[in-house]
Amino acid sequence: MPTKLARVAFGAFIQKEWKHIFRDRKTILILFGMPLVQILIFGFALSNEVKHARIAVFDQSNDSFSRELVKRLDASRHFDVVSRLDHPTAVQDAFKAGNIRLVVVIPAGFENALRAFHQAPLQLLADGSDPNLGTTVVHYASAIVGASQEELLEHHSLPYGFETELRMMFNPQLEAAYNFVPGVMAMILLLICAMMTSVAIVREKEHGNMEVLLVSPVKPLWIILAKTIPYLVLSTANICSILLLSYFVLDVPVKGSVPLLIGGSLIFTVTALSLGMFVSSIAHTQTVAMFGTLVGLFLPSLMFSDFMFPVDNMPEPLRILSYALPSRWYFYIVKSVMIKGLGLEGIWKELLILSGMTLVLLFVSIRKFDNRLAL
Amino acid sequence: MDSIIARTLSKTYRSGKSETHALRGIDLDIPAGELFGLVGPDGAGKTTLIRILVSLILPDQGTASVGGMDVVRDYGLLRRRIGYVPGRFSLYQDLTVQENLHFFASVFGVNADEQYGSVREIYKYLEPFRNRKAGQLSGGMKQKLALSCALIHHPSVLFLDEPTTGVDAVSRKEFWILLSQLRSQGMTIFVSTPYMDEAARCDRVGLIQEGKMLRIDTPSAIVREFPLTLYALSTDRMSRVKADLSGCAEVRSAFAFGTNYHLTFYTEEGPRTCVHLLQQKGHSSIRLEVIQPGIEDCFMYFMKEA
């Protein structure tokens, strides 16, 4: 076929694909609604960040230092001091009642001890029945206590004293958004590129359109490529909208270079598109394509990409599985560039792995496309 | 010059341990400009044969060529010269009539407006609906649109796989008139159908059953080959005819045809025995008369004898 005709045919294909997308309300909803909803849900509803946890204080000292400390805890948006205990046994009861996350026990003679020895013991009792929550509230409380101690000592111009400084690097506030924004980006790209593309290609098979298209002079590879291009464009738009949303609505900074971030995302988009092409070369119905991508791709990515659960704590086989998932490497790249502000020198290895995976996937899925009907 | 040639085409589908012999040694010689009808029941191998001829699937054995191009080796060239309307409606339901036509024109590398002449006869039916989505067209209109899209690049050979299945009687008639028009313009047309009455509209018909070609001939020659005397039977209790005749050893075949039963008998005495039996079973106003066999009677006969 002359190249001009090939170009016309390719253009017609892409145009047709846009019409398919924009004429189907469900597709539009998934494409543009999903990123927005995911960001908002993760940002405001599903956060593992602790806000207004109910805590109790057993202040046996009741001096100016201890009162100041309690005031600061209460003032923090993480905590609400809801009860003051007056007896050691009340501590147990408070936990048993179930609505107290943390009890701060201040020993008698707190101020004196600080003044005399520049240090004073302080007990933080957390409800360990939810370990994640327990750890988080202890971290918050320690951070607040540490900061107060420093200020109190300075304020009262005490010459000595040593401090335990606790700092969460790159994310001092322990903002959950720092973790889930990269995760959401990986998941959305996977859903849009892998799922929507495979479903769109399989739809042509299922409706019998492929039969006519195969008999046309257009090469099947071009048919498939034409189907992926609109999704590539839409995904790029989605990457930008997620970044803007997280920057302006969730206050997540982009510390590293934006072009590097978008470049990495484009590589991952192509990875996901080739995964979609691969699925569509196996699946014969839209339902199979959808479940295949959801169960075979999306769920493992969600669980083993270091996004929801730390991979380091997983048994060896699962750790190895996670290395095979492209989304794991993408998640690392986004996190490094966006949150830690690393440059190319920090992520070139991961970029290389991701690119290698993409090339292999592309090669395999293009090879699988036949010039004839697979029956 | 023969346009479509097939030699000992065979195709077997395997899934797990089961094997389906879709085609068992098909031979075909269809001259250019012929309207050829492939007739056979569901599962006879019609779709498989067409898909091999349009290069969509590969035969296990045998060779085939269309317009001198081998369906395996020259498939790239072949695909540009043929038009194909598959059995399932294969246009885009969410695109309008016009968009579908323009899309397929671009895919086949032609300009829809320039090629309008080649589809005008058919497209004129669709013109009033050109901005309607293809999914909202009636069955007959969908088929006309599919035909327009298959013709837009002016193919020299047209393949249609059961184009009239699920289409109303009036649209079926219109559709066959369109096919005759195309044929008179010199196009070779290969059409499959499960409706035997449509076979009479073809130049020649191939009767296919269980992957074998039983007969290939003109409709009139096939009718002439019918070796038996055919009777049409009607009584006042048609619904019981089949059951009441089932015990009659003289009856060679009995098929319901519209409001009648078409019967053949083994012996000369058959008709009298049959009427007698029906009278005994309580039928009245029995009419049994000799009729000229139609092409459907011939197909029924050949398929039963095969």
C-alpha A212/C-alpha A208 separation (Å) is: 7
Confirm if A201 and A224 have CB atoms less than 8 A apart: yes
- B144 vs A165, more confident: B144
Contact residues on chain B for A11, CB-CB shorter than 8 A: 106
Cβ-based interface (< 8 Å): residues of B facing A: 13, 51, 54-58, 75-76, 79-80, 82, 84, 86-95, 99, 102-104, 106-109, 149-150
Q: Which residue has the tokens 């004839």?
A: A372
**Whether residue A77 sits in one domain with residue A180:** no
**Whether residue A71 sits in one domain with residue A183:** no
Determine, yes or no, domain membership for A171.
no
Across the interface, whether the CB atoms of B90 and A207 are under 8 A apart is answered yes
pLDDT digits (tens, 9 = 90+) for A247-280: 888 888 888 899 999 999 999 999 999 899 888 8
Q: Is A244 left (phi over 0), alpha (psi -120 to 50) or beta?
A: alpha
- From the list B58, B80, B109, which residue is nearest A8 (CB)? B109
Contact residues on chain A for B79, CB-CB shorter than 8 A: 214-217
Contact residues on chain B for A213, CB-CB shorter than 8 A: 107
Residue A118 sits at the chain B interface (C-beta within 8 Å): no
- From the list B87, B90, B99, which residue is nearest A209 (CB)? B90
C-alpha B1/C-alpha A136 separation (Å) is: 85
**Whether residue A75 sits in one domain with residue A215:** no
**Whether residue A285 sits in one domain with residue A137:** no
- From the list B79, B89, B107, which residue is nearest A9 (CB)? B107
Determine, yes or no, domain membership for A267.
yes
- ipTM of the complex in this document: 0.78
**Whether residue A78 sits in one domain with residue A197:** no
Q: Mean pLDDT across the stretch B274-302? A: 87
Report the percent of chain A where pLDDT is more than 90.
Answer: 10
User: In which domain, by residue range, is A133 found?
Assistant: 53-155
- From the list B75, B102, B107, which residue is nearest A218 (CB)? B107
Element holding B20 (H helix, E strand)? strand B18-31
Contact residues on chain B for A211, CB-CB shorter than 8 A: 56, 84, 86, 88, 90
**Whether residue A310 sits in one domain with residue A263:** yes
pLDDT score for A97 = 76
Phi first, then psi: what are they for B193, rounded to 5°?
Answer: -155, 145
**Whether residue A284 sits in one domain with residue A181:** yes
- From the list A24, A208, A216, which residue is nearest B86 (CB)? A208
Determine, yes or no, domain membership for A374.
no
Residue A9 sits at the chain B interface (C-beta within 8 Å): yes
Residue A1 sits at the chain B interface (C-beta within 8 Å): yes
Q: Tell me the C-alpha to C-alpha distance, in Å, between residue A169 and each of A45, A67, A166, A252, A337.
A: 25, 30, 9, 15, 15
- From the list A1, A12, A23, which residue is nearest B103 (CB)? A12
Phi first, then psi: what are they for A57, rounded to 5°?
Answer: -125, 130
CATH number of residue A105's parent domain: 3.40.1710.10
pLDDT score for A266 = 92
**Whether residue A343 sits in one domain with residue A223:** yes
Distance from CA of B53 to the nearest CA of A (A): 11
- A160 vs A281, more confident: A281
pLDDT score for A176 = 66
**Whether residue A126 sits in one domain with residue A27:** no
Average pLDDT, chain A: 82
Determine, yes or no, domain membership for A168.
no
**Whether residue A191 sits in one domain with residue A126:** no
Please state the domain count of chain A. Answer: 2
The residue count of chain B comes to: 306
pLDDT digits (tens, 9 = 90+) for A276-288: 988 888 888 889 9
Per-domain residue ranges of chain B: 2-224, 230-305
> Does the domain at residues B230-305 carry the CATH identifier 3.30.2290.10?
no
Candidate from A40-44, A346-350, B37-41 with smallest mean pLDDT = A40-44
Across the interface, whether the CB atoms of A211 and B108 are under 8 A apart is answered no
Across the interface, whether the CB atoms of B56 and A373 are under 8 A apart is answered yes
Q: Tell me the C-alpha to C-alpha distance, in Å, between residue B80 and each of A169, A227, B51, B275.
A: 64, 22, 15, 60
Query: B2-224 belongs to which homologous superfamily?
Result: P-loop containing nucleotide triphosphate hydrolases (3.40.50.300)
**Whether residue A322 sits in one domain with residue A243:** yes
Distance from CA of A11 to the nearest CA of B (A): 9
pTM: 0.77
Across the interface, whether the CB atoms of A215 and B54 are under 8 A apart is answered yes
**Whether residue A341 sits in one domain with residue A205:** yes
pLDDT score for A45 = 64
pLDDT band, very low/low/confident/very high, at B24 (cuts 50, 70, 90): very high
Torsion of Cα atoms, A181 then A182 then A183 then A189, to 10°: 100
